[in-house]
Structure 1
Amino acid sequence: MRIISVLVSIVTLFFLCVGAAPAQSAALAGLSIGDIINALNIGLVERLHAIITLDTFVTNIISVDFDAKNPLPIELTIDRVVSSAGLNGTVFATFDRTFEKPVVVPIFGTKNSGVFGNVLLTKGVEASLDIIPFGVLDLITADVYIRAGTIFGKLGIPITLDGLQQSNIPTTYDLVLS
């Protein structure tokens, strides 16, 4: 009986928050939520993985996946990411990915995005190979479209995290040459 009353309270609180939530990202004193996350140095990406194929040497397109982390006591669902990544302020890769199956990141947990393609190497593959030995990448800028407080990826409060930045994300590279 106690569990039922706790669940009813949580669901009621959730719907009250959703009904009171603004449709746009909130800003405090001219700061976006992304600015606040950057200032707190929270970081939403735990790991990056890039896959370079033989086709990459012609197309300058790679595939990637990443592990998103959730430092909050509510579920987050990632619907879309628009990002540029690189090293020392130089952009080497860009992508705009809307997830057909949104990435549901559990409370205080991590979730892999799954592999996706169409990541453009802006400097070309030859110049991009030079950054592999560093083993890290920076998110130069990322706009992340999430829903906060989702329940198994459903519902939630839509929030855009504009201008996220993160440095020294551990990055692995696979060269698939077959």
Structure 2
Amino acid sequence: MARLTSLFIGLLAAVSAGASPSTRSLEPANLLGEIIDALGIGLVTQINASITLDTLTTNLLSCQLPDLGIMCSLLTSCFLHSAQNPLIFELTLDSVSSTAGINGTVYATFNHTFATPVVVPPLGKANSGVVPDVLLTQGAIASLDIIPLGYLDLINVDVNLRALTIGGKLGIPLTISGLHQTNVSTTYNLDLS
């Protein structure tokens, strides 16, 4: 854990010293994403999805990242559980974009800026609140086929966050692009009444 934290702090320092927020290129963001993927950290520990009858016609659902992770109703609710922070300092998530699916096929996608940034405590977890307007790209009916699998792959996740925040304030802004995570345990609750 100490090595991981030291590595991350070193990367934060390098990114912060190397570019101002307004001139930062995608290279540091991709580098951080590749390092996080290589370490197998993962931001999501569980996804719980609730599908309503209306989802079958709108192809939209909502998610929640209750223990922050990253995924995602207008008339449905999906609980994205467990965004976790394996570091010894606070992280604050400002926005997230994600595509999720199975075997490289995208089934869901969203872009969301949190009205109230999500504060993930050191070595802890946080709840994202509701993430609306998650689009089922294959349509709701075709997406029903993946329910028995019990998992989703996060095909691409981009996160805008601030590291070293204090109660969600201040911090070093970072963009982390290209995160991937496979076999995220997923539970589906169908409410078709």
Shared fold, TM over 0.5: yes
Matched ranges for 1:10-159 at <5 A? 20=17, 22=19, 23=21, 24=24, 27=27, 32-65=31-64, 66=80, 67-159=82-174
1:117-165 CA distances to partner (integer Å, 9 max, x unpaired)?
2000000111111111111111000101110011011111110010000
Rg larger for: 1
In 1, Cα distance between the equivalents of 2:25 and 2:191?
A: 40
Q: Distance in 2 between matches of 1:90 and 1:152?
A: 38
Any idea what SS the aligned residue of 1:130 has? helix
The C-alpha deviation readout for 1:63-110, integer Å capped at 9, x for no partner, is 111221001111001110010000111100000010001111010111
Query: What is the alpha-carbon distance in structure 2 between the residues aligned to residue 124 and residue 27 of structure 1?
Result: 34
Partner of 1:172: 187
- TM-score, with normalisation over the residues of structure 1? 0.83
Cα distance in 1 between the residues matched to 2:129 and 2:90? 18
Change (3 A) 1:55 1:31: closer
Runs of 4+ aligned residues of structure 1 deviating over 6 Å after TM superposition are: none
Please identify, of 161-170 and 43-52, the stretch whose mean Cα deviation from structure 2 is larger: 43-52
Aligned counterparts of 1:83 and 1:111: Cα–Cα separation in 2: 18
Q: How many aligned positions are there?
A: 161
3-state SS of paired residue (2:126)? strand
Asked whether the 8 Å contact 1:63–1:119 carries over to 2, the reply is yes
Does the 8 A contact of 1:25 with 1:160 survive in 2?
A: no
CA distance in 1, matches of 2:155, 2:172: 26
Give the secondary-structure state (helix, strand or coil) at the position aligned to 1:34: helix
Cα distance change of structure 1 residues 146 and 103 upon mapping to structure 2, 3 Å threshold: same
Unaligned runs of 5+ in 2: 1-12, 65-79
Deviation at 1:112, TM superposition (A): 1.5
The one-letter code matched in structure 2 to 1:46 is T
**SS of equivalent to 1:153:** coil
C-alpha distance in structure 2 between counterparts of 1:142 and 1:118, whole Å:
16
RMSD of aligned Cα (Å): 2.1
Distance 2:30 2:93 in 1: 22
Q: Give me the identity figure in percent.
A: 57
Unaligned runs of 5+ in 1: 1-16
Matched residue type, 1:47: Q
